[in-house]
Each structure stands twice: as structure tokens, then as C-alpha cells.
Structure 1
Amino acid sequence: MTQICDIDAIVFDVLGTLVDEPGGLRAAIREAVPASDDASVDELLTVWRQHVEREQQRIGQGHRPYVNTDIIDAEAAGRVADHAGLADPATIARLATAGRRLSPWADSVAGLDRLTQQFPLIGLSNASRATLLRLNAYAGLRWHQALSAEAALAFKPAPEVYQLAIDATGYPPERVLKVAAHAWDLRGAQATGMRTAYVQRPAGDPPTNSDAFDWHFDGLDELVTALS
């Protein structure tokens, strides 16, 4: 297991790892379509998430030129509106910016505050620069630096996105710890040589038996304690 002396900087995923992305999107959909029951909200959330995942994959495969998440989220909001019969432009526009209003998990803010006293801390997200700025302010996330994949004109798990964070730290990748609740994200970081820590979240992507991450934690408090 990685020891504290092996790590010089920490890079955090944001969406799902530090903020409740599914819960925030559900709340935004329910606000836009107040008559929806839980099953209908879940169905509309699936419409949203499938569009985002599909379009990011198409961009990664070279089937679509890069566009940032502001554009993809606006498209997703349009698809949800079509399915729900929404026609009010202001409601649809507010729904499109739901990613800027995601609440942090209960341990996120305090955990980051503790870690910033010990390590250079970077947030690395597929969210656009504008969305990441507003989300950090809304959720109260404290960083030394926040990086958007938009700077690489790509989305994780493209290696050039992780390289943004490695370059920003100034350390070799084996001295940089990537923290995420998504195994697919950690696999991408691992492929660039970064150390990896999986943090369990309700809506994450858990590791499989074939994954060999350096650390597994049940929550952020557990990770902070191990690094302290």
C-alpha cells in the first residue's frame, strides 16, 4: 500500500466524487417538471445521462468535434424537455445549468480543508471552465487549483486530461495521487502512471476484481485519516 511519503500532490475528481451529481440533477429535473413522480424523474435522469455519456464517447472516438459540457448539458436539457413536454425557454435554460448547482457530500468540504493544509490539491473535472468555477463556489470546494478538461479539448479518460494535472503539480506521475469514486476514471489515471485511490460513493463506479488501485476507502474521512 502507498505510504504518505510517496505522495507529493493530490488530484481529485469532482462530479460524483465530491458532489452528488445524480442527486443534483434529480432535484433540477423535479424543479423543472414538478408534477413528475420518482419513476418519471429517474427516467428523465437516464435520458440526460445517456446523452452526456454518448456524446462524450463520440468526441473521444473522433466522431464529433470537441464541445464543452455547457453545450452537451444544454443538449441533454433539450432532450429531457422533449420527453417531458417542456416548452418554457427559461425553465429549459435553467435546467441546462443544473451541473453548476450540485451539493457536496457530507464529508467533502471538511475533508478538502484538511488536505489543503498538507498537500497541493487540484480538482480535475470534465465540467467546463465556467461550470467548474460556479460549481466550486456553490458547493464550497476549496482547491489550490481547479482544472477543466476543456483545456485539453478532451474528456477523461483521455490521457491528455490527466497530463494537465500532472504538469500542473510539477511532480512525476508516481508522486501524484488521483482520487475518484469511478473506477473508469482511476484506470485512466493509472495508465498515465499516477497513484490511485478509490473512494466509495452511492453513485460511483466500483472497482472490479481485475482492478489494482493503491487504496480503497469507504469515504473521504477515511482517506484523510490515512494521509494524515
Structure 2
Amino acid sequence: MPQAHEIEVAVFDVLGTMVDQPGGLRAAIRAAVPAFDETSADRLLAVWEEHVEREQQRIEDGERPYADSAALDREAAARVAERAGLTDPAAVRRLATASQRLDPWEDSRAGLAGLARLFPVIGLTHASRATLLRLNAHTGLRWHQALSAEDARAFKPAKEVYQLALDTAGCPPERMVMIAAHAWDLRGAQAVGMRTAYVHRPGGDPPKETDTFDWRADGLEELAAVLAPAA
């Protein structure tokens, strides 16, 4: 396991790791179709998530041109609206921008601030530049730099996305730690030589027994304590 003093820069996934993406999308669906119960909202959430995941994979496979997260969210919202019988254009437009209003996890602001006292902190997210701007304003998350996968015209775990952080930091990948609640994201970071830290979040992608991440923590404050240099 590397020592904390070997790390120069911390890179964070945002959607799901720093903000409650599933909960926020579910709440937006419930607001758009208040007559639906939790079970129905969960089914609509699955429609949304499956569409976005499928289209990101199609983009990665070269089956469709790149489309940013905002475009995929509009498509997903249209599918949800069709399933729900939602016909109010204003309600559908607001639903399509739900990713701009996701709430941070309880420890996100304090945990990020604590880690920012140790290292420069970078957000690296699938969120489009426009979505990221508004999401940062909504959540109050403060980064030294926030990077959108839109600049790489790809989605993680494509190497081009992690390269955005590597180029921004200007240091060797082994002196950077990728922090995420998604094991697939951390595997992508490992593939470019970055250190990795898994943080548990509800609805995340937990590590498998075969995963060899450098650190694991139940929250950001615990992770900050682990990474803090010895006095």
C-alpha cells in the first residue's frame, strides 16, 4: 500500500460518489409524476439508467457519435415521460435537467474540504460542462479544478477521460489517487497507472474479491484520515 506522502493530487468521481445520483433522479421522477408510488418510480429510474448506460456503451463501441451527458439525459427523460404518460413539456424539460440539482452526500462538502487541505482536488465526471457548472453551484462543492468527460468526447472508463486529469495535474499517475464509489471507474484509473480509493455509497458498484484498490473507506472523512500524512 502506498504512503499518503506519495500522493500529490486527489481526483474524484462526482456522480454517485459526491452526489446522490440515484436518489436525486428518483426524486425528480416523483416530482414529475407525483401520482406514482415508490415502486413505479424505481421502475422509471431503471428505464433512465438503462438508457444512459446503453447509449454510453454504444458511443464507446463506435455505434453512435459522441453525445454529452445532457443529451443522454434528455433522451432518458423523454423515455421516462413516454412510459409515465407525462405530456407537459415544461415538466419534461425540468426532468431532463435533474442532474443539475443532485444533492451531495452528507459528508461530501466537509470530506472534500478536508482532503483539499491535503492535496489539490480535481473533479472528473461524466457530467457535461453545462451540467457540471450548475451542479457545482447547487451542491456548494468546491474544487481546485473540475473536469468534464465532454472535453475528451468519451465516457469513463475510456483512457482519454483519465488523461484529462493526468494532463491537468502534470504529475506521474502513480502520484495521483482516483476516489470513486464505482469499482469499474477505479479499474479504469488503475489501467492508466493511478492509485485508487474506493468509498462506499448506496447504489455504488462495490469491489469484487479480485479488485486490488489501494484504499477502502466507508466515507470521505475516514478516507481523509487514512490519507493524512503522518505528523
Task: Say whether the fold is shared (TM-score over 0.5).
Answer: yes
Once the two structures are superposed, the pairs formed by residues 8-157 of structure 1 within 5 Å of their partners are: 8-157=8-157
Letter of the 1:119 partner, please give it: F
Shift of 1:118: 2.0
For normalisation by structure 1, the TM-score amounts to 0.99
Q: Helix, strand or coil: the match of 1:204? A: coil
Q: Is the 2:4–2:227 Cα contact (8 Å) retained in structure 1?
A: yes
Q: Percent identity between the aligned chains?
A: 67
Q: Which deviates more, 111-120 or 205-214?
A: 111-120
Q: Helix, strand or coil: the match of 1:186? A: helix
Letter of the 1:162 partner, please give it: Y
Q: Helix, strand or coil: the match of 2:205? A: coil
Q: Helix, strand or coil: the match of 1:196? A: strand
For normalisation by structure 2, the TM-score amounts to 0.98
Aligned to 2:211: 211
- Give the gaps of 5 or more residues in structure 2: none
Letter of the 1:113 partner, please give it: A
Aligned to 1:183: 183
Output one character per residue of 1:1-41: Cα deviation in whole Å (capped at 9) or x when no partner: 22111100000000000100000001100000000001000
Q: How many Å separate the matches in 1 of 2:114 and 2:190? A: 25
Query: Are residues 1:158 and 2:158 paired?
Result: yes
Shift of 1:226: 1.1
RMSD: 0.6
Q: Is the 1:149–1:161 Cα contact (8 Å) retained in structure 2?
A: yes
Q: Which deviates more, 115-124 or 184-193?
A: 115-124
Output one character per residue of 1:157-190: Cα deviation in whole Å (capped at 9) or x when no partner: 0000000001100100000000000000000000
Letter of the 1:183 partner, please give it: A
Q: How many Å separate the matches in 2 of 1:41 and 1:169? A: 41
> Which ranges of 4 or more aligned residues in structure 1 deviate by more than 2 Å?
none
Aligned to 2:220: 220
- Give the gaps of 5 or more residues in structure 1: none
Q: Helix, strand or coil: the match of 1:205? A: coil
Letter of the 2:44 partner, please give it: L
Letter of the 1:27 partner, please give it: A
Q: How many Å separate the matches in 2 of 1:50 and 1:33? A: 19
Q: How many residues align?
A: 228
Q: Is the 2:114–2:221 Cα contact (8 Å) retained in structure 1?
A: no
Q: Is the 2:199–2:218 Cα contact (8 Å) retained in structure 1?
A: yes
